[in-house]
Amino acid sequence: MRNIDEDNITDTFMGYMGSDMDPRLRVVLGCLVKHLHRFATEVNLTHEEWNKGIEFLEKAGRISNAQRHEFVLLSDVLGLSSLVDMLHSSPQGTSSSVLGPFHIPDSPPLPLGGDLRKDFPDPILLVKGTIKDPQGNPIPDATLDIWQTAPNGLYSSQDPDQETYSFHGIQSVGDDGRYAFTTLRPVEYTVPTDGPVGDILRACGRHPWRPAHLHFIVKADGYKTLVTEIFSADDPYLDQDTVFGVREDLIMRYQKMQASSFPDEGYDLSGKVDEPYWKVVFDLTLVPID
C-alpha cells in the first residue's frame, strides 16, 4: 500500500500480518491497534501530544526496575488491571482484585497461626478463615501468599529499613481448609507519586490514596488462582480507591477482642497477648478450573 490514509491504515496494518501467525495474537493485536487508531483519530492527536506520550513511556521505562513496576502502576491507575480482574472473576467465587506492583515471589513459609507483626508495637490483628469451593467444602491443599505494607505505608520492596520479606509469607492451609495468622491492621497508603504516573495523577487532580488492605494470592490444584485483596470496612478511601480495586465482597470487618479471648494454642503469639486485639474472619472461595 502506498496510498495509505486515515481510513485504510487499520486494514493495512491487519493486511501486514502473516497468515500463519498465532490466531489469538492476531485477534488481540488487531483489536489493540484498531482502538489505538480510533483513539488518535477521535481526538485528532497532535504531534506534540504524541511526543508527550512517547516521553511518558520513556520516563516510565527509566524509573522501572525489578522492584519498581511503573507500567503496572499505570495499568492500575487507568483501571485496566481492575477491568482484567473483573473480566475473569467468577460470581461463584471471591472477587479478584489488583495484584499491584509490589508483589515479590518466593516469600518464606508462614506456619498455620504464624505471626507477621514481629516487633511492631501496634495492636495485633488476628486473621482467619477457610479456603472453600463454591459448595462450601474446604480445600485442604490450598496455599495463601500474603503481603501488606508496614505501618509506615511502605512495602518491604519500597523501604530499605525493612527486611526483604517483612510482612510477607506463604501459608499452607490446614486439612480443614483453614488459614490463620497474626499481623497488624493494614493502613491506607499512597501509590508512588515520584514517577510519571504521579505526574498523571496530579495533572488529573486525582489523589494517590488506596484504602487499607491485605493482599492474597490463593492457589490450589484444580482451581483457578485467586489474586485478591481484602479491605478495612472503616477506611475513608473505600469509595475512591485510586486503583479501582474495591468490591463489596472484599470488605473485612474488625471485631475488637479482649486479651483473654486470644486462642490458647495454635498461634505463635498464644500465651503472649495481654492487650485487646483485633480479629477478622474472612473466607475465600475458589472456583474450579473448567
Segments in the chain forming alpha helices (H): 9-16, 23-43, 47-63, 70-77, 80-87, 196-203
DSSP 91: T
- Give the nearer residue to a copy of itself in terms of CB position, either 113 or 195: 195
290 binds a copy of itself (CB under 8 A): no
Q: Which of 104, 79, 86 is nearest to 217 (CA)?
A: 104
Q: Which of 57, 257, 269, 287 binds a copy of itself (CB under 8 A)?
A: 57
CB of 203 to a copy of itself, least distance (A): 6
Residues in 182-221 at the binding interface with a copy of itself, rule: CB under 8 A: 200, 203-206
The set of cell numbers assigned to 217 is 494470592
258 binds a copy of itself (CB under 8 A): no
Give Cβ neighbours of residue 275 (< 8 Å, ≥ 6 apart): 123, 124, 259
Q: Which of 33, 104, 257, 269 binds a copy of itself (CB under 8 A)?
A: 33
Residues in 128-187 at the binding interface with a copy of itself, rule: CB under 8 A: none
67 binds a copy of itself (CB under 8 A): no
Phi/psi of residue 180, nearest 5 degrees: -165, 135
CB of 247 to a copy of itself, least distance (A): 7
CB of 281 to a copy of itself, least distance (A): 20
| Burial environment of residue 144 by CB neighbours within 10 A (0 to 12, 13 to 18, 19 or more) | buried
Distance from C-alpha of 108 to C-alpha of 166, rounded to nearest angstrom:
10
287 binds a copy of itself (CB under 8 A): no
Residues in 74-113 at the binding interface with a copy of itself, rule: CB under 8 A: 75, 78-88
Enumerate the β-bridge partners of residue 232. 252
- Give the nearer residue to a copy of itself in terms of CB position, either 118 or 206: 206
By CB under 8 A, the count of residues binding a copy of itself is: 79
20 binds a copy of itself (CB under 8 A): yes
Distance from C-alpha of 14 to C-alpha of 6, rounded to nearest angstrom:
14
36 binds a copy of itself (CB under 8 A): yes
Distance from C-alpha of 30 to C-alpha of 10, rounded to nearest angstrom:
8
Q: Apex CA 234: angle with CA 75 and CA 144, to 5°?
A: 60
Q: Which amino acid is at 41?
A: T
Q: Which of 38, 118, 253, 272 binds a copy of itself (CB under 8 A)?
A: 38
- Give the nearer residue to a copy of itself in terms of CB position, either 206 or 272: 206
